[in-house]
Amino acid sequence: MPITQILEKNARLYADDTALVEIVPKSDTKPSSWREYELVETGNGQIYRQEITWKQFDEKANRFANLLISRGIKKGDKVAILLMNCMEWLPIYFGIMKTGALAVPLNFRYAADEIKYCLDLSESNALIFGVEFLDRVDAVRNDFKTVKDIYYYGDVCPDYALNYTELTKAQPSDSPNIEITDEDDAAIYFSSGTTGFPKAILHNHAAIYSACVTENKHHGQTKDDVFLCIPPLYHTGAKMHWFGSFLVGAKSVLLKGIKPEWIIKTASDEKATIVWLLVPWAQDILDAIDSGAINLKDYDLSAWRLMHIGAQPVPPSLIKRWKQHFPNHQYDTNYGLSESTGPGCVHLGVENIHKVGAIGIPGYNWKVRIVDSDRNDVKQGEVGELAVCGPGVMKCYYNDPEATAAVLDNGWLYTGDMAMMDKDGFIFLVDRKKDVIITGGENIYPVQIEDFLRKNDAIKDVAVIGLPDHRLGEISAAIIQLKPGVKCTEEDINQFCKELPRYKRPRKIIFADVPRNPTGKIEKPKLRQIYCGESVVKAQIEG
């Protein structure tokens, strides 16, 4: 079923029920079109708040669809979205798909050259962007190969763009009634870009609908649930988790802000039942509780039933701490890729909290294999590459048959992630194939060392990378981000690591921030660029 039909069903059945709420803390930047928001006085400051019903959601999507069609957009065209999370994001996304065109969400951290690269690679015919991207779009707008129309969402429209707000108001709010099938192309997403310029991932409507079903099967969303969405909507992670609530017409809240106090306050005020967090945000919340910055007695969190985490391995120690403060919460973790329509091809399951540390078991309607370099199954307990097969596997990397052939084979998607399966059938992520460090002939999996180091109470975040070494080929280096105000020395870390086998102990300790992308993944290429320069290599050799 094309997911545009789900929106239309919700608009029929739940016309006047709240579909989306947007919360913008007043301490943050004003919303792009702030006049549409109500400034609300609360006991803990002020917020900008706006909400729309399912009928309004559908009408907004229809108006944008009709505008695009009036400007020549047709089935099979591509329309790119370059917006921060905002109330208009999802209606725009659905409006594009109602025309039969493909939605092309762009990462809000892209530099100007990356924006141009992705628009050209996807052969996008139109772009809609927000005020935050004026400088970047202006720098490359004359160089786009296929973009004909540029739409602007914000208060002061540049002279080269079309005013989204004014033009959509003049359009009819009824559906354009374009025939769309499950096999029609629906969207192009981009890989996270941690390995250079991103690849364009093509999905059809059947794959995206399958994400709605999988997420709902895993977490049992009902009409009464309230989903608090914080991560960026351009990524499959946030949107596909929202899809479980979308499928049943439940209310969702978009929060612009990741401060622990705002997450807890919004969960309390909006009676959120499901909150999806990234590891750093969960850690920040726990640190704020432990430091006294957050007093849980000041909030009503009785509705909150599920906290789940994705996008990266989850330290068991984090969940142990979480359950101490929130003993009644269900917990789940999810594994997925944009190539598998986001999270859910592997998930832990709320009933399997005793297996925290694993990414889990095959998700609903999914199969998995762990294979060697020849793509033969490895024995149980051995490390190999994780492969997944299911209804959400991408069609291809758009305009890149060579890259497609490297990862797709007979319906199986070879993820590039190294994993192992225990005797109970639970899968543990070991590392990315490209991140494995080979030192003196021994394979070192950085994730294993990172998980060990996170047990240290002084450490907030850690990344392990390989540095060149003239004798061993590579040595492991741990970039360690300490908790605020905590003192810890290299000697302390080395002493802590004595529990590790000698060959797994980091040979170099670096105290610095650990960069992560908006979906929570450690940006290891950036770290290699910083620490594998000539001066670092020279220091290693001389040391």
Q: How many domains does the chain have?
A: 1
| CA–CA gap between residue 153 and residue 169 (Å, rounded) | 13
Distance of CA 5 to the CA centre of its chain: 24
Whether the per-residue pLDDT at 543 is higher than 50: the answer is no
CA 409 to chain centre: 25
The model's confidence at residue 536, banded by pLDDT at 50, 70 and 90, is very low
pLDDT at 540: 32
Taking only the tens place, the pLDDT of each residue in 311-343 is 666 778 889 999 999 999 999 998 898 999 988
Find all residues with CB under 8 Å of 12, minimum gap 6, and list them: none
The pLDDT confidence band at residue 165, using thresholds 50, 70 and 90, is very high
- The DSSP element (H or E) to which 480 belongs, if any, is strand 473-482
CATH of the domain at 476: 3.30.300.30
How far apart are alpha carbons 390 and 152 in whole angstroms? 37
CA 380 to chain centre: 30
**Domain-embedded: residue 128:** no
The model's pLDDT over 21-48, given as tens digits with 9 standing for 90+, comes to: 999 887 655 555 545 556 665 555 677 8
**Closest among 294, 247, 255, 302 to 276, alpha carbons compared:** 255
Q: How far is CA 120 from CA 114, 367, 445, in A?
A: 10, 34, 36
Phi, psi of 164 (to 5 degrees): -55, -50
Position with higher pLDDT, 521 vs 392? 392
Task: Answer yes or no: is 536 within a domain.
Answer: yes
Instruction: Kindly indicate the confidence band of residue 437, based on its pLDDT and cuts at 50, 70 and 90.
Output: confident
pTM over 0.75: yes
- Within a domain: residue 532? yes
Does residue 32 lie within any of the structural domains? no
CB-count burial class (<10 Å; 0-12, 13-18, 19+) for 160: exposed
Would residue 520 count as lying in a domain? yes
Both tokens assigned to 18: 């709240």
pLDDT score recorded for residue 27: 64
pLDDT in tens, 522-533: 888 788 888 875
Work out the mean pLDDT of the chain and round it to a whole number. 89
pLDDT digits (tens, 9 = 90+) for 262-273: 999 999 999 999
Structural domain containing residue 509: 436-542
Say which DSSP state 483 is in.
P
- Residue 496 falls inside a structural domain: yes
Output 232 or 151, whichever has higher pLDDT. Answer: 151
pLDDT in tens, 185-216: 999 999 865 445 789 999 999 999 999 999 99
Q: Of 93, 338, 304, whose CA–CA distance to 211 is shortest?
A: 338
**Buried-state track 114-144, b at ≥16 Cβ within 10 A, e below 16:** bbbbbbbbbbbbbbbbbbebeebbeebbeeb
Average of pLDDT values for 80-84?
A: 96
- Predicted pLDDT at 436: 77
Three-state DSSP state, 184: coil
pLDDT at 539: 33
Higher pLDDT, 520 or 514: 514
Evaluate whether residue 161 is within a structural domain: no
Percentage, residues of the chain above pLDDT 90: 69
Task: Specify the pLDDT at position 267.
Answer: 96
pLDDT at 541: 27
